[in-house]
Structure 1
Amino acid sequence: MYKTYTIKAYKFKEISKGTGSISYYLIDELGEERVVTAKAKRGIIKKIKSVQAIHHRETPLVKALANSSVNDTIVVDFSSFNRKFPRV
C-alpha cells in the first residue's frame, strides 16, 4: 500500500537537553490533514539526528519524514511493513 503525503510544517519540542518530540503536520493524497508525532534527538547544531515512531505502525512514515523538508511530497510504501507486521 502506497500513501502520499506533503509536509506542511514540523515542530520540535525539547523535553530534556537534545531530546524531545517532533510533530509533523501533513496533508495526504485525499487532502486530509494529519499530525504524526515521534521521539527525536537533536545533534550539537540542533539538527534532527534520529527519530523513533511512538506508534509502531507509523514507523515507515516516520523514517521517510526524518529525511524530508517542509513542502516536500513523499510516497511511503507500507507493503513490506504490513506483510512483516500484519494487523491482528
Structure 2
Amino acid sequence: MCEVLGPSISSGYGYTAIIATFIGRLNPLSIILFSNVMGLLSVVGELVQIKLGLPLALPGMFQGILFLFPFSSRYINLQPSTSDVIERQGG
C-alpha cells in the first residue's frame, strides 16, 4: 500500500534523529544502532500506553533521559573530556 506524506504524519521524528545522532557521536554505525533503539523505544512506549493506560508523554520522557546520559557521564567523570586526557598525558 502506498501512502502520501500529509498533515497526518507523526511529528517528533526529527528530534528522535537528533538524539540518535548525538548519542551515536556522529559514528554512522552507532547512529544506525541508536536509531533502531529509539524506534524500538517509541513502539514499546506506545504499546505500554495502550496496555497499561499510562500517560502519552512516556516515550518522550524516555528519549529525554537517554539524551541526558552523555551529558551526565561527562560531568561525573565516567567519560573524561579531551582536555583532561591531555593534562594526564603531560601535554
TM-score (norm 2): 0.25
Structure with greater Cα Rg:
2
Hey, which of these two has a bigger chunk of strand by percent?
Answer: 1
Hey, which of these two has a bigger chunk of helix by percent?
Answer: 2
